[in-house]
Amino acid sequence: MSKAFHGFALITLGIAAACATIPRGDPAVSVMASAETVPVGTTNEDAADDPAIWRNPEDPAKSLIVGTDKKAGLHIYNLQGEQLSFLEAPGLNNVDLVEIAGFVVIVASDRSDLETAHLSVSIIDPRNPEFGGARRIPVGPGEGYGICLSEPAADRSFYAFSAPKSGVIYRTLISEGPSGDLAHETTTLASVPSQPEGCVVDDRTNTLYLGEEAAGVWAIDIETGEKELVAPTGTGMTVPDVEGLALAPEGADGGYLVASSQGDNAFAVYRLPTMEPLGRFRIVEGAFGSVEETDGIELDPRSFGPEFPRGLFVAQDGVNPPDAQNFKLVRWDEILAQIEDRARP
């Protein structure tokens, strides 16, 4: 993995009430949301956290978004932001999904047991996305927090990567057991010095990208656990806290990685495979509200119908007055066009 990373000077602006310095990154372009979900059911609390996208291959405009309310459970929305289904399950934090044999397997980190990280596994039929319950899988010591999945193998097995607050990174192989139930086996893959959360898997290069909130983005080999800090904070691209990560793959190893820079309400875009810093953006008020204090993000660069013809970016909105928190939907092509225009000499 390349260690080339061209940083920029960290800019600090403003004084908080307690006279603390507020970190700021490089200037960011502005984009607006094209849609938003209805607010989560938990009001007046930090509740909404992380989204995942299921793309309908037959009719992309009828795709689904899964989002967590860590105080209440899992929501399923359509691209108009309407809620289609809800699973009551307090304590779920991050979420990811895979499609297997026409069904959608939804895996969320379960932090309801603060001593042992768990995974919550649900299976839905996307044609009738009603939750039928969930299976709870123990992972290992630590408070469950981050979660991301690999693509399924030919035998329908896949890996879930868990990132508890302690910094240890678990790799859980989930497969179909002999009786048709879920089988699971967990090993320790790696560790980082302080609290991680957001992660995403690039199956093309067998790389787990992991956000350590204070330090930045790590690239971790999913087979060996070898790791490298490829996008540190304090470079102008991100400031603590680094939260959600999302991937827009192109070709054999190209495309983009996006990181939520929660500390200054922005998003950093890096070009793969070198993690070259491309630029930053913010989601500002337009037909829908602006986005602040983002935890989880998700991205798919494919078409999602006429409203999102060249990609969909979804971000948790941590400040959504007068309503509870929700998720904002943004056209990926508009984000990329703004950033590339700014990057041109």
Give a yes or no: residue 1 inside a domain. no
DSSP per position, 214-282: TTEEEEEETTT--EEEEEESSSSS--SPEEEEEEEEETTTEEEEEEEEGGGTEEEEEEETTTEEEEEEE
| Diameter over CA atoms, the chain | 61
Cβ count near 39 (within 10 Å): 20
Q: Which pLDDT does position 119 carry in this prediction? A: 98
Q: What is the pLDDT of residues 291-306, one digit of tens each?
A: 999 999 999 999 999 9
Average pLDDT, the chain: 92
Domain assignment present for 215: yes
Q: Is 6 among the domain residues?
A: no
The DSSP code sequence of 42-85 is --SSS-EEEEEEE--SS-GGG-EEEEEETTTEEEEEETT--EEE
Give CA–CA dist 316/68, Å, rounded. 9
Q: pLDDT-derived band of residue 177, with 50, 70 and 90 as boundaries?
A: confident
Instruction: Tell me the average pLDDT across 141-158.
Output: 97
Residue 257 confidence (pLDDT) above 60: yes
User: What would the mean pLDDT of 40-51 be, rounded to a whole number?
Assistant: 94
> Can you tell me the distance from the alpha carbon of 58 to that of 248, in angstroms, rounded to the nearest whole number?
21
Where does the pLDDT of residue 22 fall: very low under 50, low under 70, confident under 90, or very high at 90 and above? low
Residue 180: pLDDT band with limits 50, 70, 90 = confident
Task: Provide mean pLDDT across the span 48-68.
Answer: 98
State how beta strands 326-331 and 35-36 pair: antiparallel
Q: Is the distance from CB of 86 to CB of 39 less than 8 angstroms?
A: no
Tell me if 3 is assigned to some domain. Answer: no
Confidence of residue 16 (pLDDT cuts 50, 70, 90): very low
Q: How far apart are CA 59 and CA 262, in angstroms?
A: 33
- 206 within some domain: yes
Q: Is residue 216 part of a domain?
A: yes
Q: What is d(CA 279, CA 267) in angstroms, rounded to the nearest whole number?
A: 9
Range of the domain at 120: 11-343
- What confidence score (pLDDT) does residue 202 get? 98
| Res 266 pLDDT > 60 | yes
Across the range 174-198, mean pLDDT stands at 93
Could you tell me which residues are beta bridge partners of residue 125?
128
pTM: 0.92
How many structural domains compose the chain? 1
190-204 pLDDT per residue, tens: 999 999 999 999 999
Give a yes or no: residue 2 inside a domain.
Answer: no
Across residues 9-19, what is the average pLDDT? 28
Indicate whether 52 belongs to any domain.
yes
Q: 121: which strand partners?
A: 107, 135
Sorting pLDDT into bands at 50, 70 and 90, what band is 156?
A: very high
Q: What mean pLDDT comes out for the span 67-86?
A: 97
Return the closest-CA partner of residue 267 out of 278, 276, 254. 278
**30, pLDDT greater than 50:** yes
Whether the pLDDT of residue 15 is over 50: the answer is no
**pLDDT at residue 17 is higher than 70:** no
What percentage of residues in the chain have a pLDDT greater than 70? 93
* CATH number, residue 287: 2.120.10.30
Sorting pLDDT into bands at 50, 70 and 90, what band is 12?
Answer: very low
